[in-house]
């Protein structure tokens, strides 16, 4: 049995490669983490090396004490994940205080988990709590069209949610709670992690201005699908705005309500009726 044949490891690698193929992971851009299920941990425990020391996460995530994660490595390229997962990714364990992690597998030529580990783990902690443990994947990518929009739309959840919803009928069904927006901040530290995790109380997706997108979901398909849907919608908006400054027609508030009724989702009023820009 090879660890690379395990279901969750295969799913992780495929998702990283899909993101690379869509152009969202130039150089070492982006990062992916997966909270491993207890039964999956048992499947791969035989491959763990317990000899490495615990190291500080840089923040406190007591709600994740004792959890195991598969993570991409800091400075590693998504392009190379499929070629050499043991060099570019790792499995880590969180200690019982939720303050330290240790590498149990992977990063076999050295290195550290993703530079965005504080953001990922603080988002996981929030999402584990608010979804009753259902969400397991946090994904950060540099989605091109979405980044472009952070230069021309107001940096508010109202503006981004409403514009993205209007661009594709499936959007309000795929992300009914909307998308949050973090203003430009220095990446990689605790401050941006705190701001992002506050938004994750309410949203499954948070845009980082002039940087990229963070998505949370139950599994690889749902989380990748969320990022893909948001970026596709952003691409349509970029095309629309490139053709002419104003839309000739679009989906109206009462039409969103009809959609919500049929698809049994609740759409917050603030995205339907408030002026967006």
Residues with catalytic roles = 116
Spell out a b/e string for 52-76, using b for 16 or more CB atoms within 10 Å of the CB, else e. Answer: beeeebebbbebbeebbbbbbbbeb
From the list Zn ion, ligand 2HA, none, partner contacted by residue 31 (C-beta under 5 to 8 A by kind):
ligand 2HA
Residue 231 binding ligand 2HA, by CB under 6 A: no
Contact segment (CB under 6 A) with ligand 2HA among 23-31, 57-65, 81-89, 145-153 equals 23-31
From the list ligand 2HA, Zn ion, none, partner contacted by residue 115 (C-beta under 5 to 8 A by kind):
ligand 2HA
Q: What x-and-dash track marks residues 177-196 binding ligand 2HA by CB under 6 A?
A: ----------x---------
Burial class of residue 276 in the structure, from the number of CB atoms within 10 Å of its CB (0-12 exposed, 13-18 middle, 19+ buried): middle
79 in Cβ contact with 30 (< 8 Å):
no
Which lies closer to ligand 2HA via its Cβ, residue 113 or residue 176?
A: 113
From the list ligand 2HA, Zn ion, none, partner contacted by residue 28 (C-beta under 5 to 8 A by kind):
ligand 2HA
Interface residue with ligand 2HA, options 11, 29, 63, 189 (CB under 6 A):
29
Which lies closer to ligand 2HA via its Cβ, residue 63 or residue 187?
A: 187
The residues near 112 (Cβ < 8 Å, ≥ 6 apart) are 73, 74
The residues near 5 (Cβ < 8 Å, ≥ 6 apart) are none
Q: Token digits for 258?
A: 């009809």
In order of 19, 61, 88, 188, the CA distances from 103 in angstroms are 24, 17, 13, 19
Residue 223 binding ligand 2HA, by CB under 6 A: no
Residue 116 binding ligand 2HA, by CB under 6 A: yes
- Enumerate binding residues for ligand 2HA (CB under 6 A): 28-31, 115-116, 140, 187
């Amino acid at each position: 049995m090879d660890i690379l044949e395990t279901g969750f490891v295969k799913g992780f690698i495929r998702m990283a490669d899909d993101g690379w193929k869509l152009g969202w992971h130039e150089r070492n851009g982006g990062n992916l983490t997966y909270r491993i299920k207890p039964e999956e941990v048992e499947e791969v425990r035989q491959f763990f090396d317990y000899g490495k020391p615990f190291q500080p996460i840089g923040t406190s995530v007591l709600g994740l004490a004792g959890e195991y994660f598969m993570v991409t490595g800091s400075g590693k390229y998504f392009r190379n994940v499929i070629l050499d997962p043991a060099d570019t990714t790792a499995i880590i364990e969180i200690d019982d205080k939720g303050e330290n992690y240790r590498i149990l597998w992977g990063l076999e030529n050295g290195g550290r988990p993703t530079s965005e580990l504080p953001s990922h783990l603080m988002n996981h902690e929030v999402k584990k709590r608010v979804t009753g443990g259902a969400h397991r994947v946090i994904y950060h990518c540099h989605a091109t069209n979405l980044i472009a929009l952070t230069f021309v739309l107001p940096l508010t959840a109202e503006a981004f949610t409403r514009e993205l919803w209007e661009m594709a009928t499936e959007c309000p069904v795929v992300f009914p709670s909307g998308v949050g927006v973090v203003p430009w901040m220095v990446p990689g530290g605790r401050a941006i992690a705190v701001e992002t995790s506050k938004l994750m109380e309410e949203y499954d997706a948070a845009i980082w201005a002039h940087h990229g997108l963070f998505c949370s979901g139950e599994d690889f398909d749902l989380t990748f699908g969320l990022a893909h849907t948001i970026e596709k919608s952003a691409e349509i908006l970029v095309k629309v705005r490139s053709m002419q400054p104003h839309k000739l027609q679009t989906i109206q508030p009462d039409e969103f309500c009809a959609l919500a009724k049929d698809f049994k989702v609740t759409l917050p009023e603030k995205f339907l009726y408030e002026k967006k820009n």
